[in-house]
A = this chain, B = another copy of it.
């Protein structure tokens, strides 16, 4: 059992999909990562910032799942980061309607004292210098650092992104971002280039088409579970990352073989996340449900060809 540090936003989201819309609800990368990681037996702490407009009941959701929230700073008279977006009919693309950084603009994360020796660090999507500042606080080199990022930072802070990438073991990005970062269309070639930028392990998320895990010349492919209906994709990528990080932290095993399983757990948890608006499905997810869906993943992908 390892300690897991989760860094990322804790936020208000307002979401529109073809199925309806929400008022301000609980959101943020660290929230989704924490809810997913809480399915594994370990010590985890979320490091983030909110304003004092943030309801205590939202923080309780995380602490009730045994996520240490002492690293979530509450800024007095501050307002919480707010994001609003609208998904298109195909659910694969979305428009950002509102981004209010608020307290996030001056976020200087502080890792709780007793988590500075954590073995696993999950850096959720944030400015790369903020991600770096978390690594600076670790008193010993973590066993595994996982970085999530997005095209926005490639556009406005590419050098900072390259700097933090040199310090991480695993990067998770989507297919278009991998292409943007490398200028390569082939994901195989793109992953190889990203290896040279630092991360020994590259996870490329392809949404409804699953995720690829690359390490040297080895590749593993976890499909997404084909779903009748995607209700709200918000948080699916963070949930995937949280399941991945959580499983690694629980097992303490950072081998490629174990990462395959971590990718499957990440995909499994993400398949629940999209079934309801926001965090609703993840808040009430039972371990029996996860267990059952893992069996579906096995049936979906496992075959028995004996080669003679």
Contact = CB atoms under 8 A, between A and B. Distances in A.
Interface string A245-282: 00000000000010011001100000000000000000
A20 B39 CA distance: 52
A303 interface: yes
Contact of A219 (B221, B226, B304, B305): B226
Contact of A226 (B221, B265, B291, B307): B221
Contacts of A307: 291, 294-295
A291 B306 CA distance: 10
Interface stretch (A78-86, A114-122, A183-191): A183-191
A303 B227 contact: no
Q: Count copies of this chain in the complex.
A: 2
Most buried by B among A90, A188, A221, A302: A221
A20 B176 CA distance: 26
Interface of A: 89-90, 185-189, 206, 209-210, 212, 218-221, 223, 226-230, 257, 260-261, 264-265, 291, 294-295, 298-305, 307
Contacts of A261: 303-305
A209 B209 contact: yes
What does DSSP make chain A's interface, helix, strand, loop or mixed? Answer: mixed
B226 A299 contact: no
Given A209-B209, A305-B261, A300 B228 contact: no
Contact of A303 (B89, B185, B264, B291): B264
A139 B30 CA distance: 65
Nearest to A229: B186
A264 B220 CA distance: 15
Nearest to A308: B291
Given A189-B228, A228-B188, A305 B294 contact: yes
A41 to B, nearest CB: 12
Contacts of A302: 301-302
A218 B299 contact: yes
Given A257-B304, A301-B303, 8 more contacts: A89-B185, A187-B226, A188-B226, A206-B209, A219-B300, A221-B300, A221-B301, A294-B305
Contacts of A226: 187-188, 212, 219, 221
Given A188-B227, A209-B206, A228-B188, A305 B300 contact: no
